Amino acid sequence: MRTAIYPGSFDPLTNGHLDVIQRATKLFNRVVVAVAKSDSKQPLFTLEERLKLVQKAVRHMPNVETDAFDGLLVKYAARRSATAVVRGLRAVSDFEFEFQLALMNRKLDERVETIFMMPKDTYTFLSSRIVKEIARLGGDVSAFVPAHVQAALKEKFAVTPA
């Protein structure tokens, strides 16, 4: 039984994240998508909202679980009996940070391997940050996120009448 953790802020989940999840399910018996509290990043969506958006997107995938976590990733991975951490690599710009993170996690617990997955090329430009910016400005994000995430973004940025 091989379990991988796919950690992230998922603020909110995008089709790029889903692409990575789908790829990871081909390599592992169980993939736990772990939504990090990420308070320091001042997320747009609350932890509960982010978790719900992920849950709805993966509910048709039998070997995918969802969870929320806070604190050290390697400790969480050990608690979930995971042998690997999955991260997505979009471009060279992701590399430096991800490399540092992976090596630091290895220092903290050398039993956990980090696996990098490349998304479909059409998703390499996609990030939660850009999706939020487009949605905030009233742009169409339907090609980048599942429909329920699009609806949640619309609601977040709805102008409340005075």
Closer Cβ to ligand ADP, 148 or 159, answer by number: 148
User: Would you give the binding string for ligand ADP spanning residues 62-101, x where CB under 6 A is met?
Assistant: -------------------------xx-x---x-------
Residue 122 carries which DSSP code? G
**Which of 119, 141, 146, 150 touches ligand ADP by CB under 6 A?**
119
Question: Could you confirm whether 120 is annotated as catalytic?
Answer: no
Residues 41, 75, 111, 129: which is the catalytic one?
Answer: 41
- SS3 at position 5: strand
Which secondary structure element, helix H or strand E, spans residue 13, and what is its range?
none
3-state class percentages of the chain: helix first, strand second, coil last, to nearest 5: 45, 20, 35
The whole-angstrom separation of Cα 129 and Cα 108 is 29
Which secondary structure element, helix H or strand E, spans residue 25, and what is its range?
helix 15-27
> Closest approach of Cβ 58 to ligand ADP, in Å?
14
* 49 contacts ligand ADP (rule: CB under 6 A): no
* 127 contacts ligand ADP (rule: CB under 6 A): yes
Give me the half-sphere count of Cα atoms (radius 13 Å) on the Cβ side of residue 44.
20
Residues 1-40 that bind ligand ADP (CB under 6 A): 8-10, 14, 16-17, 20, 38
Closer Cβ to ligand ADP, 13 or 30, answer by number: 13
The whole-angstrom separation of Cα 31 and Cα 158 is 34
Residues that bind ligand ADP (CB under 6 A): 8-10, 14, 16-17, 20, 38, 87-88, 90, 94, 119, 123, 126-128
